[in-house]
Amino acid sequence: MNIVIAAATSTELEAMTKISINAHSLTYCTHGIGMIAATFHLQQLCARKPDLIIQCGLAGTYNDTFNIGDTVVVETEMSDTGAENDDELLSIFDLNLADPEQFPYRQAALPCPFLQSTPLNLKKAIGLTVNCSSGNQQTVDRRKLKYKADIESMEGAALHYTALMSDIPFLQIRSISNRVETRNRAGWNIPLALRNNALEIEKLLLTL
């Protein structure tokens, strides 16, 4: 298979470049941080018609049952695009600016239909893509209440939207580096998350 492994940063991609699977042709791409940069580069990747795009990297978790270092695969992805109304968050669907059932959306989220045919033994997660990472409890509580997501990233929706629109198979596989909370780097474990992310993606590649 012709497989692209993409991540926001070179740090997240570094361990992936050490993977050597003779059965596949692997290409690596650093698509940048945030939805704007990621969408541009992922669109270019989709134009090359790979057999699969795997977006890897780190995520924060809202879910207390997820542990630091856990690796998850995202089954549906949302974004925080919308507006605020006092203490309430409003999505583009709440604002009647988009149809929650118009492709590529399903129930106001971006699904990953390729999970059904992929041999993965990972926890499934609901992802939320944000333009500004949560850094205070008020923001965390609002997002948890509104989206009920398991993890937070800054690029997942770019992958899901672009790949679905381009009809390219994709997977978003992330490892938990921290809890989504008031910013506290002391509680993060980036090396563990990066190591586990590479291990799980290598396992997946060996089964494809």
What does 53-105 look like in DSSP terms, one character per residue? EEE--EEEE--TTSPTT-EEEEEEEEE--EEEETTEEEETTTTTSS-TTSTT-
Domain extents for the chain?
2-207
End-to-end CA distance of the chain: 8
Residue 16 region by backbone torsions, left for phi larger than 0, else alpha for psi between -120 and 50, else beta: alpha
CB 23 within 8 A of CB 139: no
pLDDT digits 0-9 by tens, 57-95: 999 999 999 999 999 999 999 999 999 998 899 999 999
pLDDT digits 0-9 by tens, 25-56: 999 999 999 999 999 999 999 999 999 999 99
Query: Does 165 or 17 have the greater pLDDT score?
Result: 165
Q: What's the pTM value of the predicted model, to 2 decimals?
A: 0.95
What is the fold of 2-207?
A: Rossmann fold (3.40.50)
Does residue 119 carry a pLDDT above 80? no
